[in-house]
């Protein structure tokens, strides 16, 4: 069962599919892509409106969970990661956000040379296929289709108008020059289907003879000769197999599984590895550290008019919506229902937005449980740049043992003040005249929750993950003792091994992580193949001219 390829890539997720596709564009190289999950064929993944199903199905999800989070009252939070071709792009909410330009300038300042905004913008343009926005800022012919919804419900426009009435700007394209403001939200949907990394990159690439996909393959460890990675040991069908790499091994296994696989293979904090009887190949204390995520709250308002998705929350309506989507690719099933959004700054003195809103014409949880009160609408809101940091550690040397995940959510005191601001600013937006025809009582937190202490109690009990883990194999300068990969995504301290996925983010980006994860796969492919990077962009983002003195 020993086979040899030029490149062995672990993980057919957002970055891994993009990476395998771009590597295999070179007909002279051979690429093996290993994925533990299986097929994404089926309506639960492909129908956008069914998004709450795949992320709660063990068939498609690794089923990870945190340890009891000490600052959230000991709650255990789900940490879904895609276990299917397309990875988390096949089970996520399909929201498309590049991040703010300053996010990537910060990466560069933290040691990720060549990853500033001017450097990564051309890769976002290369991956995109959209007919929206300014063509000088957007990509028009890439593999990843990005669209906007029809805004079929008047509440979508009411949210944008309420933001304007509250004194914020309306942005024509938050993925273009100006993120700050309220506007239409974009989604990775094409012709009514989820446009995952599997649909965008993997399926076209598999038509080439030099890319092979192996599913049901659990990576057990990286094989080393001295300090050079030479392949992957994996299990498939109950048998241990080996795939050799002539040139390089690349991990694109997620912010949870990439550090786990490094540690299982002897690359990581020496004390933790020794504790589990793992021989140390390279003592890299940063492996598994720097874990970050976005937390969010659902601020829910009752709706006085029966116009929300609640009227479809029954088996008959769901069946009709599903049938319409199945036969026409249209209707409510063709949208993720996140069709308007906002990005604002929490206070004066913050240079660029640090709060994100997803608006939904329904009061419901990610797990699909609807508010008992009936018709309602909600904003998902949370701070974008928490100072809290967590870690991932091994629980044993068994590759099948789940890792220990602790985000240390809300461990920094600033997080509490930022979340209180999120709640109060959302209430102000919901109180605008645009919502007057629809606005009933506040369902959550509830009108009686007002003081700092009451808000803190609500945050502790109700904050939920937005499912954006990242940062556990942080990119930085080669002489940074806490960096895991250098700016070419090479694992520091060994040879022939790279990591390319959201784990390399030095700091979490503004918004959902699917787009920057794919961008990492795109850019890493050029580094791996020795290509010159795409020419840097001269474009400059819009920054509020009075950000030092004004909140809006």
34 is in an annotated binding site: yes
473 is in an annotated binding site: no
Rounded CA-CA distance 174/177 in Å is 7
Is 546 labeled as catalytic in the residue annotation?
no
25 is in an annotated binding site: yes
Of the listed 145, 294, 468, 544, which one is catalytic?
A: 468
28 is in an annotated binding site: yes
12 is in an annotated binding site: yes
140 is in an annotated binding site: no
27 is in an annotated binding site: yes
11 is in an annotated binding site: yes
112 is in an annotated binding site: no
DSSP output for 45-89: HHSGGGTTTGGG-TTTB--EEPPPBGGGTTB--EE--B-BTTGGG
Sign for the CA dihedral angle at 42, 47, 53, 56 comes to positive
In 162-278, the DSSP E strands lie at 181-184, 186-187, 189-190, 193-194, 211-215, 218-225, 228-236, 239-251, 267-268
User: Residues with Cβ < 8 Å from 108, sequence gap 6 or more?
Assistant: 114, 115, 116, 119
Of 305, 280, 234, 261, which is closest to residue 472 (Cα–Cα)?
261
304 is in an annotated binding site: no
333 is in an annotated binding site: no
Residue 170's Cα: distance from chain center in Å? Answer: 25
Rounded CA-CA distance 344/135 in Å is 24
Rounded CA-CA distance 209/256 in Å is 31
Q: Can the peptide bond before residue 445 be classed as cis, meaning omega within 30 degrees of 0?
A: yes
143 is in an annotated binding site: no
For residue 175, CA distances in Å to 188, 207, 520, 546 come to: 13, 31, 17, 21
Neighbours of 485 (CB within 10 A): 27
319 is in an annotated binding site: no
396 is in an annotated binding site: no
159 is in an annotated binding site: no
Known binding-site residue numbers: 6-35, 84, 92-95
Q: Which residues are catalytic?
A: 468
Known binding-site residue numbers for FAD: 6-35, 84, 92-95
């Amino acid at each position: 069962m020993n086979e040899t390829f030029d490149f062995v890539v672990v993980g057919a997720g957002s970055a891994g599919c993009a990476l395998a596709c771009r590597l295999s564009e070179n007909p002279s190289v051979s690429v093996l892509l290993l994925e533990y999950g299986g097929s994404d064929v089926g309506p639960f993944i492909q129908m956008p409106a069914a998004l709450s199903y795949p992320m709660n199905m063990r068939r498609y999800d690794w089923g990870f969970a945190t340890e009891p989070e000490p600052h959230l009252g000991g709650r255990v939070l789900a940490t879904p990661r895609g276990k299917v071709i397309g990875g988390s792009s096949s089970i996520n909410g399909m929201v498309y956000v590049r991040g703010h330009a300053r996010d990537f300038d910060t990466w560069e300042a933290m040691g990720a040379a060549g990853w500033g905004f001017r450097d990564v913008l051309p890769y976002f343009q290369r991956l995109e296929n959209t007919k929206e926005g300014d063509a000088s800022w957007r990509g028009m012919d890439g593999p990843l289709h990005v669209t906007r919804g029809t805004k079929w419900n008047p509440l979508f426009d009411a949210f944008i108008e309420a933001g304007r009435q509250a004194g914020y700007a309306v942005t024509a394209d938050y993925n273009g020059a100006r993120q700050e403001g309220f506007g239409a939200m974009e989604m990775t949907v094409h012709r009514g289907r989820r446009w995952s990394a599997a649909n965008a990159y993997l399926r076209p690439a598999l038509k080439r003879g030099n890319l092979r996909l192996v599913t049901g393959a659990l990576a057990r460890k990286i094989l080393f000769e001295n300090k050079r990675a030479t392949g992957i040991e994996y299990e498939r069908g109950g048998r241990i197999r080996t795939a050799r790499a002539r040139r390089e091994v690349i991990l694109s296994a997620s912010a949870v599984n990439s550090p786990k696989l490094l540690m299982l293979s002897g690359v990581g904090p020496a004390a933790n590895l020794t504790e589990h009887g793992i021989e140390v190949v390279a003592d890299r204390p940063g492996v598994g550290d720097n874990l970050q995520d976005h937390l969010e709250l659902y601020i829910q308002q009752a709706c006085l008019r029966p116009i929300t998705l609640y009227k479809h929350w029954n088996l008959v309506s769901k069946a009709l919506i599903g049938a319409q989507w199945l036969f026409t690719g249209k209707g409510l099933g063709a949208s993720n229902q996140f069709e308007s959004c906002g990005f604002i700054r929490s206070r004066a003195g913050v240079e660029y937005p640090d709060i994100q809103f997803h608006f939904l014409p329904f009061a419901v949880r990610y797990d699909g449980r609807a508010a008992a009160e009936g018709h309602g609408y909600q904003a998902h809101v949370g701070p974008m740049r928490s100072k809290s940091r967590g870690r991932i550690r091994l629980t044993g040397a068994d590759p099948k043992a789940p890792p220990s995940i602790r985000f240390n959510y809300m461990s920094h005191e600033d997080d509490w003040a930022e979340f209180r601001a999120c709640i109060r600013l959302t209430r102000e937006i919901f109180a605008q005249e645009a919502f007057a025809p629809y606005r009933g009582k506040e369902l959550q937190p509830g009108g009686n929750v007002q003081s700092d202490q009451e808000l803190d109690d609500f945050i502790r009990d109700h904050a939920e993950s937005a499912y954006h883990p990242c940062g556990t194999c942080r990119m930085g300068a080669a002489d940074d003792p806490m960096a895991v990969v250098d700016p070419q995504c090479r694992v520091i301290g060994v040879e022939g091994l790279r990591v390319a996925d959201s784990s390399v983010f030095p700091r979490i980006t503004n918004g959902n992580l699917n787009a920057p994860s794919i961008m990492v796969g795109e850019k890493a492919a050029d580094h791996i193949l020795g290509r010159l990077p795409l020419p840097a962009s001269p474009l400059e983002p819009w920054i509020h001219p009075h950000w030092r003195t004004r909140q809006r």
